[in-house]
Homo-oligomer: A and B are copies of this chain.
Amino acid sequence: MKKTILSLFAFSVATISFTASAQFAKPEDAIKYRKAAFTVMATHFGRLGAMAQGKAPFEVKSAIDNAEIVAEMVKLPWAAFAEGTDAGDTKAKPEIWKQSAKFKEAAEKLQVEATKLSAAAKTGKEDVFKTAFSATAGACKSCHDDFKAK
């Protein structure tokens, strides 16, 4: 029994490592990549935030364009949180790997909200957009609170 579990564990670790090494040559490449994806995402999300908070006029085309980019970018960073990428120039908390199911859930929640935000922008209705923006911002914050160091 013990042997089986150990074998499964070894297999699982090997699979993760293989995936990580196949995707990124070095841990710092993965860290640089995921930070870059978040930077692009945050730039466009910030423009949506300015409209949602009334700091910029609500413009439907801009809302749609920026929300579509956010909805695409939001798919990218997660594969780069591979095992062994917890150290270095990163604010990623160890909880990402210790509570990986919870982290995955938070990442999926954000993706769902970002997709809804994109759909909300397409309605052209400012109040619908604002509500969806708040929900998406809440998903960002919740994940940052648990998994990102200050």
Known: A69-B76, A72-B72, A76-B69. A40 touches B43 (CB 8 A): no
The closest CB in chain B to the CB of A34 belongs to B40
Alpha-carbon distance A22/B35, docked complex (angstroms): 23
Band of interface residues on A: 10 to 19
Q: Which residues of B contact A35 (CB under 8 A)?
A: 36
Residues of A within 8 A of B (CB): 22-24, 29, 32-33, 35-37, 39-40, 43, 47, 56, 69, 72, 76
Of the A-B pairs whose beta carbons lie under 8 Å apart in the complex, a sample of 12, sorted by A's number, is: A22-B56, A24-B43, A29-B43, A32-B39, A33-B39, A33-B40, A33-B43, A36-B36, A36-B37, A36-B40, A37-B40, A40-B40
